[in-house]
Amino acid sequence: MKTAKTTDFPDLVEITADGTSIGKTVLAGRVAHFFGEVGRKVIRVQIESSRRRGAVETGDIFINLEEFASAGIRNGGLVGVLSPLFEAVIEARKSGAGVVVDWAGGTAGHRLEVLAATNFDATLAAMQVKALSIVMTTNSSEHMAQAEKHLHSLQKVAPHLPRALALSGRAGPFDWPVNSEQRGHFDRLLAAAGEVPVLRIPLAAGRALQVCADAGLDPTQALLMNFDELAARLGVHIFQATACATEIAVWWQRVGGELRKLLGAARVPVTA
């Protein structure tokens, strides 16, 4: 049965960064739930090492990063390894579901190779699939330089693929003195982004997201638990559990607001 599209949100959202511990998976989870909030089913695709594999819900797809090593002897190479992703896009086009792709850190080069091999932006356009590629970074100079390079590469490899820049507050705010090294990296990053929309992902106070992740909980699971149950799962007293749930709820609402703003901004054409 085909799900009615009740939003202008893209049919395919991919979240990528060349670094790790940036917050891609948490954001991917929030984007997936946003689809649900606007009445669309969603397929989540997680591309990750089996050592870092998160919980995969029924109907979602996990692609083992270790399989990239055998791409040279696989039919279709990397495209063959990623066949479950492309099959999900084809199926979602028929059903009206959305697809959220969580790329593993350090796979930017592989991803660009796949985009070029599949003529990704033109192929999606021919399929009438709206897509959005979110490049994510923290405030570290290394991550910002990686994001800048990735944005430039995307412009060359898939010029018609809409893009957005996500600024993750996980490592702190994007605020430095003028003429500082980090400010220079940030200015160059914004110049590379140009007119693409910017998504600001706040830091959850008290390490709430990390505390839940350490306990094997995603934000949704934590929010649905009663405080006694959450306290037992986290190994803390009920007051800490309550504070943790409150901070996650605040983060959840703020990111939801950022995603709602992105809806209109994502329709801005990508400049050549």
Residue partners of 66: CB distance under 8 A and separation at least 6: 49, 50
Range 12-206: architecture per CATH: 3-Layer(aba) Sandwich (3.40)
Sheet strands (E) in the chain: 12-16, 42-48, 61-64, 98-102, 131-137, 163-168, 198-201
Taking the domains of the chain in order of start, what are their residue ranges? 12-206
Which residues of the chain fall below pLDDT 50?
Answer: 6, 266-272
Q: Which amino acid is at 184?
A: G
Q: What is the pLDDT of residues 144-176, one digit of tens each?
A: 999 999 999 999 999 999 999 999 998 889 999
Distance (Å, whole) CA 88 – CA 92: 6
Distance (Å, whole) CA 255 – CA 267: 19
Q: Taking the mean position of all CA atoms in its chain, how far away is CA 19?
A: 13
Residue in 207, 144, 204, 189 with CA at minimum distance from that of residue 17: 144
Residue partners of 224: CB distance under 8 A and separation at least 6: none
